Amino acid sequence: MEQGRTDQMDEQQNFHESHNTGVNVKEGRAGQRMKKDSIELHRKRGFEGKKESIIDHEKPAEQGGHVTFEIQPKNNTPQFLKKLSFGKGKSKTTVTGRDNKGFQVDNDAIHQQKLEKGIYAYPWDRTNLKSLSIDLKKLEKLDGYASKVDVTSSIEDLVKVLLKEANTDLEKVRAIWMWICHHIEYDVIGYKNTANALTSPIDVLQSRKSICEGYAGLFERMCSIAGIECIKLSGYAKGYGYKVGQNFSGDSDHAWNAVFLEGSWHLLDSTWGAGHCNNNCTQFTFKYEEYYFLTHPALFIGKHFPEDKKWQLLQPTVSLKQYETDITCGPGFYNAGLLSAHPETAIIKTADGKATVSIEGHSQTLFIFNLNGTEKSGLMTLQDNGMKLEVYPQVTGNHELQIYAKPYSSNGSYDFVLSYIIKCNSVNRSIKFPKDFINPLGPSWLTEKKGLLEPSHVEPIIHTEDGRCAISFKLNTHLSTMAELHSENITVTEDTKRRHIFQAHWENRVEFKVQLPQAGTYVLQIYAKNKSDHGMYDFVCNYLLCCTNASVKWPVFPLSYSSWMEDYELVEPLAGVLPANSNVHFKLRAPGVDAMYVDDKRSSPLTLCDNGYWQGTCNTTGCQTLHIYAKKRLTNSYSALLQYKVKT
């Protein structure tokens, strides 16, 4: 039993070891040369000055509704002409287009023209993570091919080989994306000295290493060769080194791309799609991240703020102030099947020493959290598709709350999903957290999956004025249960704490009667296992029991022996310590028993009444202990069921 409980605690206390602590890469001042290089590349390709504009969009609907984000279609005039020639031997690729003047069209005219031609929309129902409908399974063969291509002679030769398995524009972009994400390593040295980082497309290809500007530049160049319209964007990013709630100013610090597919612009970030760096950005690890490929603009804005707001592809656009204050939901959040979090601001002020966070998902999800890295000063309850967390900082000041999650169906580790800064002005001393307290608290869908149904108490916190309570569940017949009581208010043995709980079964329910030894805050931990399983009990759920009545002082329940069966029921006496020189009435139910007596000085027999209960009275005079003995059917011997002590 102890191992089962320990495993549950270890999982929550040591999640830092099991979850990927890497973070997305973000440049320090890498954006200083972005505009200049981008203009130069555009000039070489012959479409410098080409502009796109955004028209008004529908305002996002409330949660649960249908949200529509719209952008303008590509301007059809003037045409962008392209010609690809892949001859035998050395590859020859040419890209032709009208001169720059042909692309210098009045922005207002383009705006009006797009209004007349119609608009394109990004439907979003809070489950689709991409701005374009994609069947990833149909791309698996292409993905496998593109990720294994190994060409370094030239960018043109590389694109030629990649396009052998790509037919549509989407497949061309996908092949380029997969190759870059699996072959370009992030330059951790160049990150710290961007002036010496290799960022030109050919240098990135040959060195297989760069910072974000090089990733985005190579992607843009490869798309140009493939005949795909693509631009390099720059702006502020919530990546490596980002602190919750920080302000952004000065030069841009990250670069990514937008591609034009099926009449609309779409966003992607190959730097973050390739992998992540460790905490001090000294080592890069390839770890492909699908989330950053054609990410829906409503999600992409969570970590990317472009210099030119129109490239948010949203209307209305998000202000820099809103970007700074909003929570940051990245791939871990959405990959875990989560949909939304509340509050939506990254900094929370406590009210009466408490801050509340809730998360909604579309499937059953497990959560763990920490405050300032180690503290567990919070009460978390699982909900059908999410969770609610009440945090009670134990000191005033700023605290960092980190939340981790994983789908219940997953056998993997918990992934980081969200951070908040909690500003605490006062501490709530009424809530205590016993040392052995484990979240989640109270019954939930997880309790049902463990086989305990229809709880008598659905609220996770039970306030008891007299220090007693009884909690019951409908129980699957194949389960065996047990419970433990923990508190920092009492210093007694584990056996004594267990004896403040008495378990009873009737029909298909199990009941845990609790008598608290004194006032205080306690955790009732409930465990279960299959009766046929000889292993440890598994943690099921727990309750927080609170008693403020200083006069409460209940003794332990009587000691039960192995002969006491799960379907037996004790009605009285429930106190394990009986008064001296007194008559005591006994009442209990024990199916399958033929005879029963109490071993006082007279061996007082108990009588089976019509209601199915054994009843009788004995006297405690001259006794130090009392035992109840029973003889089961088809046996000739008596076995001890319960032991009571008598006050001296």
- The residues assigned a catalytic role are 212, 254, 269
**At residue 296, what is the residue type?**
H
**At residue 397, what is the residue type?**
G
CB 301 within 8 A of CB 314: yes
Question: If 0-12 CB within 10 Å is exposed, 13-18 middle and 19+ buried, where does residue 563 land?
Answer: middle
Residue with tokens 């609220």: 459
Q: Which two tokens stand for residue 630?
A: 């029973």
In total, the chain counts a number of residues equal to 648
β-bridge mates for residue 399, sequence order: 422
Give how far Cα 393 sits from Cα of 398, 422, 425, Å. Answer: 9, 8, 10
Q: Which of 411, 412, 356 is nearest to 386 (CA)?
A: 356
Q: Which two tokens stand for residue 605?
A: 């027999």
CB 305 within 8 A of CB 236: yes
User: What does the buried/exposed string (b/e) look like for 573-583 if buried means 16 or more CB atoms within 10 Å of the residue's CB?
Assistant: bebbebeeeee
Q: Which of 153, 135, 133, 178 is nearest to 91 (CA)?
A: 153
The DSSP H or E segment spanning 335 is helix 331-335
For the chain, the distance separating the N- and C-terminal CA atoms, rounded to the nearest angstrom, is 35
Angular region, 64: left φ>0, alpha ψ -120 to 50, beta rest: left
CB 228 within 8 A of CB 166: no
Residue with tokens 């529908």: 58
Helix (H, G, I), strand (E, B) or coil at 216: helix
CB 4 within 8 A of CB 539: yes
315/58 Cα distance (integer angstroms): 7
421/106 Cα distance (integer angstroms): 46
